[in-house]
Amino acid sequence: MNKQWWKESVVYQVYPRSFHDSNGDGIGDIKGITQKLDYLKNLGIDVIWLSPVYKSPNDDNGYDISDYQAIMDEFGTMADWEELLKEVHNRDMKLIMDLVVNHSSDEHAWFMESRKSTDNPYRDYYIWRKEPNNWESTFSGSAWQYDEQTGEYFLHIFSKKQPDLNWENETLRNEIYSMMNWWLEKGIDGFRMDVINFISKAPGLPDAPNPEGKKYVGGGQYYINGPRIHDYLQEMNQKVLSSYDILTVGEMPGASVEDAKLYTDPSRNELNMVFTFEHMDLDSGPNGKWDLKPLELKDLKDNITKWQTGLHGVGWNSLYMNNHDQPRMVSRFGDDKEYRVESAKMLATFLHMLQGTPYVYQGEEIGMTNVRFDSIDDYKDIEILNMYKEKVLEGSEPHESVMESIYVKGRDNARTPMQWNASDNAGFTTGKPWIKVNPNYSDINAEQAVQDTNSIYHYYRKLIQLRKSNPIIVYGEYKLIDDANEQVYAYTRAYEDQKLLVLTNFSREVAEFQIRDNELTTGTLLIGNYEDVEENLESATIKLRPYEARVYIG
């Protein structure tokens, strides 16, 4: 298998608004990040992914960009950003930037021109129609907004302040490529590409089938992995990416493993890896993310196995269980109360031992949890607020059940400030934080975690170090074993003449795992999340304690 630095790396995602505030305005900023680089270096990570720091009116916390080549005032200046890049590189780490080019902000100069008249040179940079179709916005309501100046509608798959760019327009595409080259010339090390598989829309933008006669319907089949997506990515690769040794990861809701093969097969010259959403959808019912359903371990096994085996030797996986759009993984897949430490370590073991590049989301390494704010007024996320308005204020759903969905799935779970220490506002800011801090910061914080050698933080350090000294963790071939076990997710990895056995108990009960002849029968414990492990691989049955994880190597 082709060796690459980005396969051997661990990426850490920073959501700047909530990471660290250096000037007391209650909003995280770039200087704040620079001040925390030693913390990240000590964790051992290789690459930092910065969620957007560009100029933005913040309708969607920076995912609505009004100038791709300027820094958001609240986050600092371009000089601050240059300093950050320098300091990251001084510590032998890398920096990748978020690229949000499915849409811009409606306050971007291109859109301000585009909306002026139907014959404006920028008109065709966006998608305008005399009549809307029936597509629904991801953030509720119609995906079309009427604009009085010209009496036409523009398409916005996300909020109405995020008009979709028209990738059919070659001049627009070239503007985007030159902007990307401009950042790469500044020395960045790659891009995370926001909903990049949405950029090619089906010709004619047809109405979606609507058997239930709803007001609006998804429409994703007309813009997800659309007809020209591979042409655009290959063109981008040729005009930009191929000139640099960088990491590229495409965020791709709705991409199957077959799609991912096409996106990440190196011989096709598109991207290094994609973020799949399939495992993030396993605990949703038929009505989408707010329709809560318990996760079945079997579904997780089936899904992860499909991706692990599907991309092996073809493309490459990215590994994540949370980010700024998802709830906290220990609350979602573990137990954020009694077994918070054990289950956070178990989940980390499960993920970091798979084949692919692991992504750690800020606060994950100290086991930060979901939050429950009593009032809807304490929530800030446009997705939550629009959904609440549609379902409760304008619809007939009860407040209580909608709040329950928000507690379980809302994006603000991941966006409460990073918990640095037990002082006021968790040491995130000396001012009033833009969103409330999770009240559990007096127990769960980085200072405590760094001091406690048994902490989740130190366990992550160890996992990351092991990856550096054991190529099997990066390159070994995955195989699911004991697939019928309802509590234990077990798999092996094989590389050259070595084998890894990964045992993870996803339940709060003791679980049993039977060693079979064809698996690893002699080996040593590489890492585990409980002390005093007595059994070794010679025992026929291994008993795993609640959320126990063990990795054997032989």
* Positions that interact with ligand NOJ (CB under 6 A): 60, 63, 100, 158, 194-195, 251, 324-325
Closest approach of ligand NOJ to the CB of residue 343, in Å = 25
Residue 400 appears among annotated catalytic residues: no
Closest approach of ligand NOJ to the CB of residue 251, in Å = 6
Closest approach of ligand NOJ to the CB of residue 367, in Å = 22
For ligand NOJ, give the closer residue by CB, 325 or 335.
325
For ligand NOJ, give the closer residue by CB, 325 or 519.
325
**Coil, strand, or helix at residue 125?**
helix
Closest approach of ligand NOJ to the CB of residue 146, in Å = 21
For ligand NOJ, give the closer residue by CB, 354 or 382.
382
Task: Kindly list the strands in the beta sheet with 318-319, ordered across the sheet, starting from the edge strand earlier in the chain.
Answer: 273-275, 247-251, 190-193, 94-99, 47-50, 11-14, 357-361, 318-319
Residues 219 and 272: their CA atoms lie apart, in Å, by: 28
Render 66-120 in DSSP notation, one character per residue: SEEEEE-GGG--HHHHHHHHHHHHHTT-EEEEEE--SB--TTSHHHHHHTT-TT-
Q: Which residue is nearest to ligand NOJ (CB)?
A: 63
Residues 71 and 73: their CA atoms lie apart, in Å, by: 6
Q: Residue 393 has what DSSP assignment? A: I
Closest approach of ligand NOJ to the CB of residue 412, in Å = 11
Choosing from 46, 80, 194, 335, the catalytic residue is: 194
Residue 251 appears among annotated catalytic residues: yes
From 274, 268, 347, select the one nearest 307 (Cα to Cα): 274
Tokens of 285: 């019912």
For every residue of 249-292, which 3-state class applies, written as one string? EEECCCCCHHHHHHHHCHHHCCCCEEECCHHHCCCEECCEEEEE
Choosing from 21, 59, 251, 335, the catalytic residue is: 251
Closest approach of ligand NOJ to the CB of residue 237, in Å = 21
Q: For residue 217, what are the contacts with CB-CB under 8 A and spacing of at least 6? A: 134, 135, 136, 208, 209, 210
CA angle at 457 for the pair 453 and 463, rounded to the nearest 5°: 100
Residues 128 and 163: their CA atoms lie apart, in Å, by: 10
Closest approach of ligand NOJ to the CB of residue 54, in Å = 12
Tracing tokens 């795993």 back to the chain, one arrives at 544
CA diameter of the chain: 77
For ligand NOJ, give the closer residue by CB, 159 or 425.
159
For ligand NOJ, give the closer residue by CB, 17 or 461.
17
From 535, 533, 536, 543, select the one nearest 522 (Cα to Cα): 536
For ligand NOJ, give the closer residue by CB, 52 or 476.
52
The residue count of the chain comes to 554
For ligand NOJ, give the closer residue by CB, 411 or 461.
411
Query: What residues are annotated to the active site?
Result: 194, 251
